[in-house]
């Protein structure tokens, strides 16, 4: 009887412990989140690591292709994905913690003379625009009536294809572009030709996440968004990107 009581006690404890575990997923999108030398790095990765110090949820950061990350966030319980840009198509699938980053989107090209267009709709006539597969930018372009998006796996591929004239334009963000230029001098001849819009990246939790987990992370975000530790992350990445990264109420962005 004593053995049976102990077994019943274990069976009642294990499920509650399992429910408290959290899956954390991200993708390769430097400088926000990426793997380097076997370790996770990035602006948003550092942000998440900071918050992890102030929550009780046992977890570790895993990396996968973005399409798989997004699917897992929509289907799995107790799952955090980052950084996810908020849009109408995703709104009801997640609880949104943040925002943690603002990104200004631009079309970039090999030179400015090719595309003197002043209106967004004019770019629908371009042959092909490089865009990350399953990314919010691809979704956004389709929602605006663009049929000329050319999905690629990562920005490095898109920039190479642009330089080799296999793409006419690439839709990129100001922070990603700064990272590419700081690490790949061969792309410094590329120019921005049109400001598209500004998108906001969040930490996104799956809808069937334990409310206790959500509360822990929301509290940690509120407590840390003005902390010295977050300012140190800002300073670190400003140096790495060779451009001043602003911190606005817990959200990173470049100044205009």
Report how far residue 217's alpha carbon sits from residue 187's, in angstroms, rounded to the nearest whole number: 38
Query: Strand 169-173 relative to strand 79-85: parallel, antiparallel, unpaired?
Result: unpaired
Residues whose CB is less than 8 angstroms from the CB of residue 10 and which lie 6 or more positions away in sequence, other chains included = none
Cβ–Cβ < 8 Å for 15, 62:
no
CATH of 103-199, one of 3.40.190.10, 3.40.710.10, 3.40.50.300, 3.20.20.10: 3.40.190.10
pTM of the full predicted structure?
Answer: 0.85
| pLDDT exceeds 70 at position 3 | no
Whether 18-102+201-254 and 103-199 share one fold: the answer is yes
pLDDT tens track for 97-144: 989 999 999 999 999 888 889 999 999 999 999 999 989 999 999 999
Overall CATH class of domain 18-102+201-254: alpha beta
- The span from the first CA to the last CA of the chain, in angstroms, equals 71
Q: What pLDDT does residue 20 have?
A: 55
Each domain of the chain, given as residue ranges in start order, spans 18-102+201-254, 103-199
């Amino acid at each position: 009887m004593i053995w049976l009581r102990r077994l019943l006690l274990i069976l009642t404890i294990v499920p509650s412990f399992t429910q408290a575990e959290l899956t954390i997923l991200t993708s390769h999108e430097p400088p926000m989140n990426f793997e380097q030398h076997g370790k996770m790095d990035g602006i948003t990765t550092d942000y998440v690591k900071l918050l992890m110090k102030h929550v009780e949820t046992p977890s570790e950061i895993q990396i996968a292709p973005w399409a798989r990350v997004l699917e897992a966030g929509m289907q799995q319980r107790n799952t955090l994905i980052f950084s996810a840009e908020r849009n109408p198509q995703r709104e009801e699938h997640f609880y949104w913690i943040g925002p943690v980053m603002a990104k200004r989107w631009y079309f970039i090209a090999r030179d400015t003379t090719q595309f003197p267009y002043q209106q967004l709709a004019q770019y629908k006539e371009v042959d092909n625009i490089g865009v990350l597969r399953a990314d919010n930018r691809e979704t956004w372009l389709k929602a605006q009536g663009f049929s000329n998006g050319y999905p690629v796996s990562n920005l490095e591929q898109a920039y190479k294809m642009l330089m080799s004239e296999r793409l006419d334009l690439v839709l990129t963000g100001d922070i990603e572009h700064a990272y590419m230029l700081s690490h790949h001098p061969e792309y410094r001849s590329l120019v921005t030709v049109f400001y598209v819009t500004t998108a906001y990246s969040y930490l996104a939790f799956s809808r069937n996440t334990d409310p206790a987990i959500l509360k822990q992370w929301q509290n940690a975000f509120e407590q840390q968004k003005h902390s010295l530790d977050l300012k140190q992350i800002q300073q670190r990445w400003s140096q790495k990107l060779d451009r001043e990264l602003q911190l606005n109420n817990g959200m990173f962005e470049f100044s205009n």
